[in-house]
Structure 1
Amino acid sequence: MEETVFFNLGNAIAAKRDPKELIKEAQIVKDHRGPLGKLVIVEDETNGDHILFEVNDQEAPSDKTKEFKVKEIID
């Protein structure tokens, strides 16, 4: 089951079209950030990009946020 989350695109850590490349980048970010929080990869269904966010950056639905489906959570 996919979870729907809302993020402000301005809070994105990184975005790539290739999800495998974004997973590699997420691991690098996680290694440098330490145990701060979980990272999540979502897919922008309008253009096919995969976007990396920190889970704690989730927001309530509003005109400043966009709806995404969670593709992968990185602990």
Structure 2
Amino acid sequence: MEETVFFNLGNALASKRDPKELIKEAQIVKDNRDPLGKLVIVEDEKNETHILFELDDQLSASDQGEAFKVKQIIE
């Protein structure tokens, strides 16, 4: 899945260099959230990190948001 989405880095739930560790973190976040929304893991190619966001926090293309490539959506 190669899709570009825009997020404000201030809305990030977590970030890690190891995508497997971030998936574990996403599962913990998902288990503790109410109501359950979709989470998305994106890749920040500049800093070589993976970042976890809530999909509802997605922005339209603007100066306030930064472009990221979607790596995984967790429902």
TM-score normalised to structure 1 length: 0.95
Q: 1: CA distance between counterparts of 2:35 and 2:21?
A: 22
Aligned to 2:55: 55
1:1-75, aligned counterparts within 5 Å? 1-75=1-75
> Following TM superposition, by how much is the alpha carbon of 1:35 offset from its aligned partner in structure 2, in angstroms?
4.2
Query: What is the Cα-based RMSD across aligned positions, in Å?
Result: 0.9
> Following TM superposition, by how much is the alpha carbon of 1:21 offset from its aligned partner in structure 2, in angstroms?
0.3
> Following TM superposition, by how much is the alpha carbon of 1:62 offset from its aligned partner in structure 2, in angstroms?
1.1
TM-score normalised to structure 2 length: 0.95
Aligned residue type for 1:28: I
Identify which range, 45-54 or 33-42, moves more after superposition: 33-42
Q: Deviations over 1:2-60 (max 9, x none)?
A: 11100000000000000000000000000000442100000001011000000000001
Unmatched tracts of structure 2, length 5 or more: none
Unmatched tracts of structure 1, length 5 or more: none
> Stretches of 4+ moved more than 2 A in 1?
none
The alignment of Structure 1 onto Structure 2 pairs a total of residues equal to 75
